[in-house]
Structure 1
Amino acid sequence: MIPAFNTSPSTQTQPRWSWPQVTTIVVTCLFVSFQLIVSVHKFYNMEATTMDLGAFEQEMWNISHGNWWAFSSVFQAPAVSIDGFLWIYPIAYGFRFLGGAVFLFTLQSTATAISAWGIYRAARLHGLSEWQAAVVSMAFLLYPAIIGGSQFDFHPDFIALPFLIWAYVAYQAESKILSYILFLCAALSKNVAIISIGAFGFGLILWQHRIRDGLITLGGSLLFFFAEMDWIIPQYFDGGMTQHNKHLYAYLGHGYIGMLAGIVTHFSLVAHHLSHEGSYFIWILGPVLGLSLLGAASTPAMLSLLFLNALSLFPNQRYLTSQYQVILAGWLFLALIEALARFKNRRSRLLFGISLTTMILETSFLSVNILPLLSVTHPRTWTATQQANRHLSRNSVIWTQNRLGPWLYRYDLLGVDRQVALGLATGTLPELWHEAGSNHVTTDIVAAQPTTPYLADVLAHALHSGYHVSFHQGPLFIVSGMRHFRIPPQAPFAAGWQPRTRSWDIPIWTQKILLGHLNWNTQSLQVSQRTRGMIFAPIAVAFTPGLYHIAVTVHSPRPTESVVLGKIIAGRYTADIMSGMPHDTLTIDVRHHENLAIALWTSGHQNFSLSGLTISQ
């Protein structure tokens, strides 16, 4: 007689980890490892930015050295007022003692992994099978905002994300106290998270009819938001970036109450603005087939950030691969899980479609924006930056490019040559000079070829005021001096790419040289005979309607001979560079707004040197 085996769950040993769980963990580890590699590579490849990573580095460095009221000279605002990021205080000490920027990237990747596992747990709580939950978690990782939002810099959005997701998981598991604590932690990570938490409370009231829980969440988030934005930050942290954030929605009204009222009172204006953002909504909702709109309490939270970004006047907030979509992505997938819980019979087909769309989108993004850059390195710039640090004084005013600032964060007076949005500039040289409080402080302008036309013009003004090139190695150089000089205004478009004056100079040595040899003593470019082609990489310039003159200063060893040395090229316009002329000019008549690439070409007929390019109207 064959004995019967008892297969009841009470007596049979259950595996600790199932295959779907193991698969989720393995895929998550592979993804976050790749995420970390991309961030670290771009950091050492000089592709991180001062206006995100560099500003946080500067603040964390100051905080970890006892200056808890650290002021960001980059954004002209205290640390906390930039994002409402109170977790910056404990993280600052990790930054100082545990590896600097690499620690921040590791923290960001760890937060991504914790978030992915939270998505898996949320899916299981809503009745999805283990494999279905694993597919949702992996689709979340493949959502382009996750890798796109972390590819260059460090953002508090990734710190808020796991708190929000696990607060949701705790609430669904009926651990309400833990849920409120985690929501508070998320609110301390990023101020926009507070808006989504309040919208989640509204969803609890409207969709799940949990009136008490919804009122606590909604009321608590509103109180915390106005206490932070209208009292704590303005009172104790100067509120610099608070005014900047308000400016992005100023067309709706004044102040936060005015902006909320403006959505109703200026509804036609809002509708007109949103009507031009159809592609943004498609990019956000398309990968999940729009199913997140059919969710429950998470849908209002998702929509609150979707409309917040869409209503902003800052175009970067509508890039699918920007950090502004990271918290939105968390709510998007939580709402997706709620929607999938309703489609029991069609769930597998829907998940297949979601997986396919996210995989195609992620593959396209990686192929175009991530993988090609991983094969490109700039070791000369990185090495030169390390050497340049030794030539800078701790008390100097440092003004640099957006991509060099992450390596110059230890200086208190650090600014960059780019704007943020709507003409709101970062720390400009006059502001940094004012903070220095003395006319006897050295100013060092640190840059690497190629510079923007605006920075090139600033460098030309500095040289005319008595500044000199104090260091150069590879593509990097430092222009130093002590005098204050007139700073040209920035153009109100393309983030201050070029000056807003009728005449501006571009020293040749500020650009990426393709042919010739730079003579730093004379600050000129020596072009040899029998070399043909483009002398430097084309310079993009935006022209408004008007008559323009593009002049180049030429020094020829045989000025009496009339030989065509090359050409000045501006889009479809060209003019000869002649050996007998000290200045050759290309005149163009622009009838409408045009973006033209300016370049110089050498014929190889004779040796000559170039010292400058001038654009005048």
Structure 2
Amino acid sequence: MSSLLHPSRRPFVILAVLYSSVLFTSTAVQHYLMGSQVWDLGIFEQFNWLIANGKINTISSLRNITPLQDHFSLLLLPIALVYKLSPNAYTLFALQSLALGCMPALAADLCLRQGVKRELIWALAIAIVLSPYSFLVNRGDFHPDVLTLPLMLVAIREVDQPRRWLYYPCLLLTLVAKNAQALFGIGLSFYALAKGQRARAAITLAISMAWWSLATHISSAGGDHVGIRLGYLGDTKLEMLTTLITRPSVVFNEAPPDSILLYSLGLSLPFLALLGRASWKALLGCTPIYFTNLISASSIQRELNHHYSIGILAFLIGGCIDALAQANPPSLQRAKTILYATLLFSTAALLGYGRLGYYQSRLLPRLQEAQDFQAAKQIIQPNDSVLTIANYAAHMAGRQMVKQIEKPGYGAVNQYDWIVLPAPNIPINIAGKLKRVDRTKLGPNVARVRREAEAAQMNCRSANASIVLCSRT
């Protein structure tokens, strides 16, 4: 393998380092400014804390299942080893930012191997860096399957190579991120078949289906996600398929055409000028994930700030490389036109979908609360049990016992070492708008918990202007 520090690759490595830094900084700032929630950042941090502390079979207080019963994510095992070295959410953000941030350099290296014109390589790098999906999926959240994006792209590029030692390990590492990664494996088998690799397609499909069956069975305690999100189509997979064939319009009751269009445009716009006729095989490969997202009753699968489309991004980049590496490369003038068009489309996509204004409208107004929260949090020890709101739980998930007052079943309040509540007059983010706590649905819950704590002889006091702490001592 050519050195990444080769002069032809060095600018893209520098770009990747800068891109990773921007990704990490943006998500770290959002997290510090209270822009993260317990689903799913807090849950995955607690999973990693449990595994890192030898409690892999202990039930998570936030999810009520053990870490591997969620999606049977075996990838959490090595992630937890890194987390143990620096047990906080920023470690998870750093890993995720590195995985996403390395993509410009990886894509450039793959293009250089194919002899792609340098202007076109820069166009692809720009599309990746300015893609709103890459930016949003990293902000304020963490999912182990996002870490496998580089492996997915390598597997796509290796699908028609005679060697096996790189393809199958990448496929397996991608699958073990979670059970639903089988959809990527199924799509990869479609791609291999379209590439004329029938044996590899069959083996890939068999491995993916076997993993899906095993992982879904082991993680059944976490719930039937297919049944929850596609249950409107029928009670069995056969009924679901029959409904899709006989009454396809029923999908639009759950996924309006305008939401499908906006979702599709946000994903593809940065790459439109780079896709070509040779890209159809990669686009075929992303259909299992894309179609599942379209028909899901859960609208979050069609939002760019969630991880459900990470496999689609891999296939889009792979499709661009297929098109750029075709036998008849464009002229220099055509290549420059593609570069300028990509810059225009990517910039428009980032400005239109990137939610850049959220930092000013939703996050910076909570700076004082964030500073007060961090100051109040300092006296709470890592082994102390905590009851708090979901927003704060995302910052306190690195412990065995933390529960949120929004979920019923947290039990007697005096069983917790600490109760951490927002002051009634501070603004919090409710459905995208900042509202005072006492003027939201959360307000009565906060007030009730404080009354229960005081009735249980807990010591409740204002730690500062933003945070109320109740303790047993």
Q: Quickly name the TM-score band, shorter chain normalised.
A: 0.7 to 0.9
Structure 1 equivalent of residue 124 of structure 2? 136
By how many angstroms is 1:180 displaced? 1.2
Q: Which moved more, 1:441-450 or 1:184-193?
A: 441-450
Q: Which residue of 1 aligns with 2:408?
A: 429
Contact 1:111 1:158 in 2 (8 A): yes
Is residue 202 of structure 2 the alignment partner of residue 215 of structure 1? yes
Mapped pair 1:333 → 2:353 = no
Q: Secondary structure at the match of 2:468?
A: strand
Deviations, residues 523-555 of structure 1 (Å, cap 9, x unaligned): xxxxxxxxxxxxxxxxxxxxxxxxxxxxxxxxx
Which is higher, the Rg of structure 1 or of structure 2? 1
Whether the 8 Å contact between 1:160 and 1:327 is mirrored in structure 2 is no
Q: Which residue matches 2:448?
A: 461
- Identify the match of residue 263 of structure 2 among 270, 273, 280: 280
What letter corresponds to residue 474 of structure 1 in structure 2? A
Work out which of the residue numbers 208, 211, 232 in structure 2 matches 1:251.
Answer: 232
- In structure 1, how many angstroms separate the alpha carbons of the residues matched to 2:377 and 2:18? 37
Q: Deviations over 1:77-127 (max 9, x none)?
A: 332233442111221122122352222222112212333333223334554
Give the CA deviation at 1:358: 0.6
Match of 2:83 in 1: 95
More helix by share: 2
Q: Report the counterpart of residue 175 of structure 1 in structure 2.
A: 163
**How far, CA to CA, are the matches of 1:293 and 1:376 in structure 2?**
45
Deviates more, 1:299-308 or 1:274-283: 274-283
Q: Deviations over 1:570-605 (max 9, x none)?
A: xxxxxxxxxxxxxxxxxxxxxxxxxxxxxxxxxxxx
Structure with greater contact order relative to length (CA < 8 Å, sep ≥ 6): 2
- The answer on 1:232 being equivalent to 2:242 is no
AA partner of residue 460 (structure 2)? S
Q: Which residue of 1 aligns with 2:93?
A: 105
SS of aligned partner of 1:177: coil
Residue 98 to residue 348, structure 1, CA distance change in 2 (3 Å): same
Question: Which of 46, 49, 58 is 2:37 aligned to?
Answer: 49
Q: 1:301: Cα distance to partner?
A: 2.5
CA distance in 2, matches of 1:93, 1:285: 35
Determine the C-alpha separation between the residues in 2 that align with 1:15 and 1:102.
27
Q: What SS does the aligned partner of 1:68 have? A: coil
User: 2:293 matched to 1:309?
Assistant: yes
**Secondary structure of 2:318's match?**
helix
CA–CA separation in structure 1 for the residues paired with 2:252 and 2:369: 50
Give 2:209's aligned amino acid.
L
Distance in 2, matches of 1:388 and 1:308, equals 41
CA shift, 1:393, in A, is: 9.9
Give me the whole-angstrom Cα distance separating, in 2, the residues matched to 1:443 and 1:98: 24
Task: Quote the offset at 1:225 in angstroms.
Answer: 1.0
Give how far 1:392 is off.
Answer: 7.8
Is 1:474–2:458 an aligned residue pair? Answer: no
Instruction: Give the residue type in structure 2 aligned to 1:476.
Output: I
Of 15, 23, 26, 2:11 maps to 23
How far is the alpha carbon of 1:383 from its aligned partner?
A: 4.1
- Which whole-Å deviations, capped at 9, do the CAs of 1:227-273 have from their partners, x for residues lacking one? 211x2223xxxx22x32453012112335565455433543323665
1:257, 1:76 → 2: CA distance? 31
| 2-structure distance, mates of 1:99, 1:462 | 29
- Relative distance call for 1:172 and 1:396 in structure 2 (3 A) is same
Contact 1:116 1:141 in 2 (8 A): yes
Match of 1:268 in 2: 249
3-state secondary structure, aligned to 2:139: coil
Closer, same or farther: CA 367–392 of 1 in aligned 2, 3 Å: closer
- Are 2:420 and 1:446 equivalent residues in the alignment? yes
Any unmatched runs of 5+ in structure 1?
Answer: 1-13, 419-427, 482-617
Q: Which amino acid aligns with 2:229?
A: L
Structure with the largest fraction of strand: 1
The letter for the 1-side match of 2:7 is: S
Question: 2 CA distance for matches of 1:257 and 1:385?
Answer: 52
Distance in 2 separating the partners of 1:314 and 1:61: 29
Cα separation, 2, equivalents of 1:315 and 1:166: 30
**Structure 2 CA distance for partners of 1:127 and 1:218, relative to 1, 3 Å:** farther
Shift of 1:213: 1.2
Question: Are the aligned partners of 2:33 and 2:363 in contact in 1 as well (CA < 8 Å)?
Answer: no
Answer whether contact 1:24 1:138 (CA < 8 A) is retained.
no
Pairing 1:148–2:116 present? no
Q: TM-score, normalised by structure 1?
A: 0.65
The amino acid that maps onto 1:214 is A
Q: CA deviation at 1:406?
A: 2.6
Q: Match of 2:342?
A: 354
How has the CA–CA distance of structure 1 residues 392 and 136 changed in structure 2, closer, same or farther, with 3 Å as cutoff? closer
- Per the alignment, residue 37 of structure 1 pairs with 25
Q: Which amino acid aligns with 2:468?
A: F
2:431 corresponding residue in structure 1? none
Amino acid in the other structure paired with 1:401: A
Q: Residues 417 and 347 from structure 1, CA distance in 2 versus in 1: closer, same or farther, beyond 3 angstroms?
A: farther
Give the 3 Å change call, closer, same or farther, for CA 440–352 of structure 1 in structure 2. Answer: closer
Q: Secondary structure at the residue paired with 1:183?
A: helix
Q: Deviations over 1:146-187 (max 9, x none)?
A: 111112122223212111112223335433332011111011
What amino acid does structure 2 have at the position aligned with 1:441?
Q
Consecutive unaligned residues of structure 2, counting only runs of 5 or more, are 428-436
Inter-partner Cα distance in structure 2 for 1:396 and 1:274: 41
Task: State percent identity of aligned pairs.
Answer: 20
Q: Are 2:390 and 1:401 aligned?
A: yes
User: How much has 1:369 moved relative to structure 2?
Assistant: 3.5
Mapped partners of 1:300, 1:249: distance in 2: 22
Query: Cα 1:125–1:219, aligned 2, differ >3 Å: closer, same or farther?
Result: farther
- Aligned residue identity for 2:69: S
